[in-house]
Structure 1
């Protein structure tokens, strides 16, 4: 059975589960501070809930209380609530301009108490004055702050601004599970970056370093270096476009509601300014999701409003699988039928089927490739051929796990051309195979990225191509138990998963594939493949082989 506490004037309430021990540390008209101790694991946390005065002079007592508390708290400390003040002019929309004195006291308190803003998802504004048109004001009055100990203990802490319901303030939802893994987003090149005037300068500045003589290794690391630079440049240049979209949507929604009630009284010029900003971010977002971009802008206010209602309601509708066709050709459109067919399809990939033995029809296949043409397949491609291939790429598609789309290679051709052409030597018979190793390592490295469903790597072993080549020629696409024309040897194939993958998922994968699970690392082309930190034990086998070979040498 849980318990509850409130501050002296009853404006702050805290409800706590039974497994939490609570000690009241400070109780004033503007804050209630408690020390929480979990009875199970002994974890301690100080929570300070704030309901600040609307008057600047009245908040002085609040700042002094926080100053005093900060000098004594060494455990994780979370401070959150309604501070009734902002820290910057970007946290306000509408109303009179922000005065420096309005924000200075609060910023100074945050600095002295060594607290940090914990960020948020959702709309920036947590308060609305309930009015529209010129009288409309939005502010970020509610926030969560934390000390360094809090962030060390809960590195994955997240704050979400929820939708306002029955109040002029947005509820704040704090998720601070210590056992959750951080979401590591893989790099994704955004094609709209190339339109920015400073884009090519970023590429030039970060494509100059050489990482060794191997062209594959050099190119691979230059891409990673550029990817890191672009990520930082994008944050500095564009900011969080999705957070800005959520904020502007809330402002537009209020104005549009007023327009529906009073079409003649709305300040259309003001609405159109906000809508223009929102259109700009929508265009960026739609390019990000690789959806069609470009929108019609109507000068007529009524048509403009209808356009926005339709767009806001449908803009985040992602591509969904509405129906699929099963093996006999029947269309399935219910969720249950689609799920069953998906399970059947992937299960059949690992089931043995009858293999035809009559290959007489192969004698009817004419020889279409001349010896000269065959020889050309082994020749090194020149720069013109590589350039034609690059500019024939799909600009919206990324060909590998590095996240760089065809548009990147096309826009940066003059900068990366020499490295890209040099790298083609690795595809010629008898040349470097390090690209295969780098690709495998990159894929396994990304297994740590949290997603739904969880990532899994399957290392497949094929039956010898020589033994089965004639039989496999006759296998049709309907025979799913093959990869590039080879039968899977399930006894020698292995499934690799992240070490935190649940037991149920592990059992499910095995029941479907009948392929055993093993742990990292494994050896691929003589090189250890692993995720996480590089360790000496990963290279133990290679080192032992080298030592054994060295010990077998004798002086001539």
Structure 2
């Protein structure tokens, strides 16, 4: 292993060597290597570290029966970082001293820090394959440690799982770095190598090197340019915005010093202040777009936070190593780029001849009257194109070059004609083909041959419910698709044939936990923490809360994660219920998830009552009743329908009947009215 991978440091876990045989073995097998171990702290041999003293120097800081914590000094680059070699016990209770050690020591670390080893637990449910699904409590300690210490997994190649048996596979081994590592110019990746006959764990081969790949960056448009009155003329400005903001600030300070020292008031102070404030706001917009942190308040600029997010995003998105098609691993940027291009060239293929569309099959299906057909097939108008662009938020849908909706709105006089021409060309060339899409597989195949768009069998699944076995086998044989299983994800949310359990909501909990772990909260004020929770976390929750009735257990997990991020301590000074109270009631104004869940479901009920132009609403009105007030709960109804009926009854009770509630809602803005009603209803039930 040392020779094959040219290792400077080697960590061995569970080596099972008797302490009295260690020194003779090192002298004969590894002459010239230095080593340390924690054999004396436990009955069986746990962790052994050896290193080449000509390449690196290791200083022991602390060790326990589950971890060895050292300082690593590279003798060639003179870089210093901390390293922890971990071998966790295989029970939750026995691992708790490990988490306590990491949390206690990690809070005081201000150097780049890398943790590696066998943690004997997983972070996400998908890190186990086979056997009984992982319970949330089994992942809680590792997740909390990662969030508190702001750790992140390093990029990896090789095996997805690191331990296996005959029926189950786990990702028990991992390599993580702290926030200070992402701030440094060190790149790192790990190759999880198949263990062969030596072990049932993958070997973690870690490569650390300096980032020397300073390739020229392509031009990218930033929305802050659109705030300049002459931005169409000076789109490409050679001076970096941060430098211009700094120079403008220095100029106004000099003018103010002259005035305060009695040298006379400079009439240009007003203009200098206006220019400095403009560039200051432009710099904030620039950093916001680059860091993708537009959700912070203007008053909480937090440049350190922005720069930390920018560096972290670059580290996370950068591909430092890639397993090439020939099986070798490359860290050369040019080889990686060539392999990507070659892969997608083979995947997408080349242009092929298409069969002509058989227009005779179109009249065989349902058809629209001539008036509707003409309206559907007419060319889109210029007003419709401009209206569609106006409805897109300024910072939405940017391409790789950053040209988002803000640019096209501001520069409409210059580029509007090109946009209209492009949209017109798209609709003129796209007519007719999509009309041949049918549910039947032979129509799908016909459409593929006509349009050149084929369904990818490797990425497609077919889901069958209440189908007899012979029919099921025949459908799978004809389609060529794999049979999928419930629950599965669609648009990010789980779909199931039965009632969703707490485990099915792990995607929501994991998403929030990942976002919290990605934020360097020690660079934020409490106001910044609060704004992130309000703008981002509750934005993520909103999508789920509007679709499902969320159980109290799931809400408790989300609130625990948010509470830990907000206060960064185990003993918050204010109860979470007070935090979620309105500002007028001396709270902090976060939304109570239970109330907000009921509010959004009430809006869904209101959409059904108003017969919103939606396929799902039409199906609900057809399957149940047209009038919401006539609904009755049936035994086989879903949890969503039962919850909607409960909300209907609560609203009817408050206003005397459903007609009274509907009439009252019609004269109020929807969200304000529904949240006010639900808030009052929940508070009255609590009291």
Calculate the TM-score normalised by the size of structure 1: 0.36
Of structures 1 and 2, the one scoring higher in RCO (CA 8 A, sep 6+) is 1
What TM-score, normalized to structure 2?
0.30
Q: Name the one with the larger helix percent.
A: 2
